[in-house]
Amino acid sequence: MRIWLIVFPFLYACAEKEDAGPCEEICTILVDECGYSAFPSHDSCEQGCSYESGWGINADGYLSCISAVEECDTYGMVGCDNAFGL
């Protein structure tokens, strides 16, 4: 019984990272690299991304789009938002 008290938190932490998928990379670009002010933190961005993914957003396509935008160009980023229904 006690072994589960030690093992469970590690398994839970691994499951959380696995579920993030492209959201972690999306938030790294939006929050960390571009300073996108819609999210107060990286974690907040990941929560929003996960929520939107549950509603069918194409996170992989969005990631490809924002990755192609040069130097965090505002118009390019907004174009990706519009193209993927954000």
pLDDT at 62: 95
DSSP-derived secondary structure letter, 40: S
When divided into structural domains, the chain yields a total of: 1
Determine the average pLDDT of the residues in 30-54: 91
Q: Would you say residue 6 lies in a domain? A: no
Q: Would you say residue 5 lies in a domain? A: no
Range of the domain at 50: 21-83
Q: Would you say residue 75 lies in a domain? A: yes
Q: Would you say residue 77 lies in a domain? A: yes
Q: Would you say residue 12 lies in a domain? A: no
**Which residues in 1-78 belong to E strands, given as ranges?**
none
pTM of the predicted protein model? 0.72
Inter-residue contact 16 to 46 (CB < 8 Å): no
Q: Would you say residue 10 lies in a domain? A: no
Inter-residue contact 77 to 71 (CB < 8 Å): no
Percent of the chain with pLDDT over 70: 74
Determine the average pLDDT of the residues in 46-58: 90
Q: Would you say residue 59 lies in a domain? A: yes
Percent of the chain with pLDDT over 90: 58
pLDDT at 4: 40
pLDDT at 63: 95
Q: Would you say residue 13 lies in a domain? A: no
pLDDT at 61: 95
